[in-house]
A and B are shown apart, each in its own frame.
Chain A
Amino acid sequence: MKFVRLKAWAFPIAIFAVLSLVPTYASVFDDRFILLFFTRILVFAIVAVSLDFILGLGAMVSFGHAAYIGFGAYAVGILAEHDIWAAWISFPLAMVAGGLFALFTGAISLKTRGVYFIMITLAFGQMAYFTATSLSVYGGDDGLTMWGRSEFFGTDLFNGDASFYYLVFAVLAAVYLLLRIFSASRFGRVLRGAKQSEARLQAMGVDPYRYRLAAYVIAGVIASLAGALMANQNEFVSPAYMSWHRSGELIVMVILGGLGSLHGAILGTVAYMVLEEVLSGYTEHWRLIFGPLLILVVLYGRGGLMGLMNGLSRRAEK
């Protein structure tokens, strides 16, 4: 039993250990690009983990998850435009804005199931996207350039490359732990149960709707937090953050990693973005390789990259 526990944690610990060494690697080899690149990856990983929480655990395939990135990013960007830089104001505001949007749209979307849910979340995502393009005071289509980063009580937390990386890393770790705790709790069991059989849960006197909605709002809040970080990283906010292409990419990252384990989503994000970067370094037509790779992962690796890994480790034990 103890061994099983250890094994369940060994892989995520390994992932986080490797990720924590990135700034050291970057400073030893004087490679600023790697540090910035991995900061970007980790921000996306936060969003992917939050998506995996509803998609993998609760089978809620949200095709509008990128909208929450936009809510977080625009909260920070718009406040910066009005010369409010304090992170303790902008970050909570970003999360509340995303959470309220999630509460409102989730309450409606969760009445539907399956593909209808996918499409109604897309609809709300697109509404948010087009709203952002119409904000001509804040850049409209062209986006909004921030002339600096958020401030954290006079420290350089947001400004240093390494310190910002550690900040994003800490947020990712905290989010991961929190969602792991949630998914192991009664709350997580209800979500998983509702995925298997809603009727059985209702027969036991549990109404899955409220649990689903709570999970949906939690995921929205976390994605908004990631959006606030993204605005700081790019010092730029644009409607493109919220496009359906982005939402689709996020779903692909999560499925690629393997559903439901949460660290699978981190692995999927890293794999997706690193592959994209490496392949596009070789050829501008990297999609010619990347597309078939995705197909092969689906055809031969059931359960994404985590499925492949588990298969390998099982074979090694035999």
Chain B
Amino acid sequence: MTLLAVQTLNGLQLGILLFLIAAGLTLVFGVMDFINLAHGVQYMLGAYLAVACYQLTGSFWTAALLALGAALICGLVLEVLVFRHLYDRDHLDQVLATFGVILFLNEAVKVIWGAAPLSLPVPELLDGSIQLMDNFRYPVFRIALIASGLAVAGLLYVLVTRTRIGMLVRAGATNPEMVAALGINIRRLFMLVFGFGAMLAGFAGIMAAPILSVEPGMGDNLLILAFVVIVIGGIGSIRGAFMAALLIGLVDTLGRSFATDIARLLLPPSAANDVGPAIASMLIYILMAGVLFFRPSGLFPVRSA
């Protein structure tokens, strides 16, 4: 029972991280029709910048703020240097160029900070753990991560559904040509969305730095998961990204901790030990294939094709 509760919280935490990355990805994709493989690298940059700023300032909070700004600047620099020239290209050109960005930044990080994993200490204020139930303590920082992620999700929801900018973003995701024709500077909207997405990914990186190891290539696997999330959720849909991120986070985490036990009920132990982990790793992909089979454009499709 305790294990289930812990793993559910861990699943939520992974889901929140995924949401923070996927939110930017789905907006950039939905609004600009731009496949940005380098989005995972921006998550990595957020984590590294946080560590670097911490080494400079010695305070988690200042470091987090500085890193957030730096992540935004990095995102905008990339936009101006590379991505801006790719918006009107086809998807494959974007894949190739952003793949080049991944190679470059993963290596640059290795050159600057070394290949060994770094870590960021948990801030004192959020150190320690609290009692949630009998025999069940959970680290405060992880709870703070979940809470801050939910807060960002709420903020994003208000921003997207209740403000003029949000309206433009939603309109842009549905029909960008029409928005441009109505006299909106779509390029500036793009840059805004892009910078915001980069900052969200950076924020995810900063929040992940104290609990995961900060290493080159740490964004690559999460990028794939984030793509799974936005495809399940429906491209361009923040709501879809949120639902799908939590779903993927929970399914993946719970699958990994219980698949072997469940397999043991059906199979002899030695076979279960082989099959369990494999099934657990496959679960989210099975889920995605299943969703796409029945709903070919995700759970919350935005663009009516």
Contact, CB under 8 Å: A108 / B297: no
CB distance from B51 to the nearest CB of A (A): 20
A215 at the interface (CB under 8 A from B): no
B286 at the interface (CB under 8 A from A): yes
Contact, CB under 8 Å: B95 / A251: yes
Contact, CB under 8 Å: A119 / B96: no
Shortest Cβ distance from B298 into A: residue: A116
**B260-305 residues at the A interface, CB under 8 angstroms:** 273-275, 277-279, 281-282, 285-286, 288-289, 292-293, 296-298
Complex interface: chain A residues within 8 A of B108 (CB): 288
Known: A123-B286, A288-B111, A295-B100. 6 other contacts (CB 8 A): A120-B288, A120-B289, A291-B101, A291-B104, A298-B96, A299-B86
Complex interface: chain A residues within 8 A of B29 (CB): 115
B188 at the interface (CB under 8 A from A): no
B13 at the interface (CB under 8 A from A): no
Q: How far, in whole Å, are A290 and B100 apart by their CA atoms in the complex? A: 7
One of A130-138, A159-167, A171-179 contacting the partner: A130-138
A13 at the interface (CB under 8 A from B): no
CB distance from A273 to the nearest CB of B (A): 15
Q: How far, in whole Å, are A122 and B37 apart by their CA atoms in the complex? A: 14
Q: How far, in whole Å, are A294 and B29 apart by their CA atoms in the complex? A: 21
Q: How far, in whole Å, are A259 and B91 apart by their CA atoms in the complex? A: 13
Q: How far, in whole Å, are A286 and B107 apart by their CA atoms in the complex? A: 8
A223 at the interface (CB under 8 A from B): no
Complex interface: chain A residues within 8 A of B292 (CB): 112, 116, 119-120, 123
Complex interface: chain B residues within 8 A of A113 (CB): 296
Q: How far, in whole Å, are A25 and B82 apart by their CA atoms in the complex? A: 41
The 9 sampled A-B contact pairs (Cβ below 8 Å) are: A112-B296, A115-B231, A126-B281, A133-B277, A133-B281, A134-B275, A255-B92, A292-B100, A298-B97
Shortest Cβ distance from B292 into A: residue: A120
> 1/0 contact trace for B227-271 toward A, CB 8 Å?
110010001000000000000000000000000000000000000
Rank and list the top 7 A-B pairs by shortest CB-CB distance, nearest first.
A291-B104, A294-B100, A134-B278, A291-B103, A287-B107, A123-B285, A298-B97
Size bracket of the B interface: 35 or more
Q: How far, in whole Å, are A256 and B228 apart by their CA atoms in the complex? A: 25
Contacting residue for A285 out of B35, B111, B220, B279, CB 8 A: B111
Contact, CB under 8 Å: A285 / B110: yes
Contact, CB under 8 Å: A299 / B96: no
CB distance from B155 to the nearest CB of A (A): 27
Most buried by B among A248, A291, A299: A291
Q: How far, in whole Å, are A293 and B91 apart by their CA atoms in the complex? A: 18
Contact, CB under 8 Å: A115 / B235: yes
Complex interface: chain A residues within 8 A of B101 (CB): 291, 295
Contacting residue for B86 out of A126, A251, A252, A298, CB 8 A: A298
CB distance from B275 to the nearest CB of A (A): 6
Q: How far, in whole Å, are A99 and B106 apart by their CA atoms in the complex? A: 36
B85 at the interface (CB under 8 A from A): yes
CB distance from B223 to the nearest CB of A (A): 10
B47 at the interface (CB under 8 A from A): no
* Chain A residues close to B by CB (< 8 Å): 55, 61, 108, 111-116, 119-120, 122-124, 126-127, 130-131, 133-136, 140, 244-245, 248, 251-252, 255-256, 259, 285-288, 290-295, 297-299, 302
Contact, CB under 8 Å: B274 / A134: yes
Q: How far, in whole Å, are A120 and B284 apart by their CA atoms in the complex? A: 11
Q: How far, in whole Å, are A252 and B281 apart by their CA atoms in the complex? A: 26
Complex interface: chain A residues within 8 A of B17 (CB): none
Complex interface: chain B residues within 8 A of A255 (CB): 92-93, 95-96
Beyond A119-B231, A294-B96, A299-B97, whether A287 also contacts B104 by CB under 8 A is: yes
Complex interface: chain A residues within 8 A of B136 (CB): none
Contacting residue for A115 out of B91, B111, B220, B293, CB 8 A: B91
Complex interface: chain B residues within 8 A of A135 (CB): 274
B157 at the interface (CB under 8 A from A): no
> 1/0 contact trace for B24-68 toward A, CB 8 Å?
000001000001000000000000000000000000000000000
Q: How far, in whole Å, are A309 and B246 apart by their CA atoms in the complex? A: 48
Most buried by A among B220, B282, B289: B289
Q: How far, in whole Å, are A58 and B268 apart by their CA atoms in the complex? A: 45
B144 at the interface (CB under 8 A from A): no
Contact, CB under 8 Å: B103 / A287: yes
Complex interface: chain A residues within 8 A of B107 (CB): 285-288, 291
Shortest Cβ distance from A295 into B: residue: B100
Contact, CB under 8 Å: A291 / B231: no
Complex interface: chain A residues within 8 A of B220 (CB): 245
Shortest Cβ distance from B93 into A: residue: A298
B201 at the interface (CB under 8 A from A): no
Contact, CB under 8 Å: B97 / A294: yes
Contact, CB under 8 Å: B104 / A122: no
Contact, CB under 8 Å: B288 / A119: yes
Q: How far, in whole Å, are A123 and B235 apart by their CA atoms in the complex? A: 17
CB distance from A261 to the nearest CB of B (A): 14
Contact, CB under 8 Å: A123 / B289: yes
> 1/0 contact trace for B203-218 toward A, CB 8 Å?
0000000000000000
Q: How far, in whole Å, are A114 and B108 apart by their CA atoms in the complex? A: 32
Q: How far, in whole Å, are A240 and B35 apart by their CA atoms in the complex? A: 25
Q: How far, in whole Å, are A25 and B256 apart by their CA atoms in the complex? A: 52
Complex interface: chain A residues within 8 A of B293 (CB): 108, 111
Shortest Cβ distance from A248 into B: residue: B99
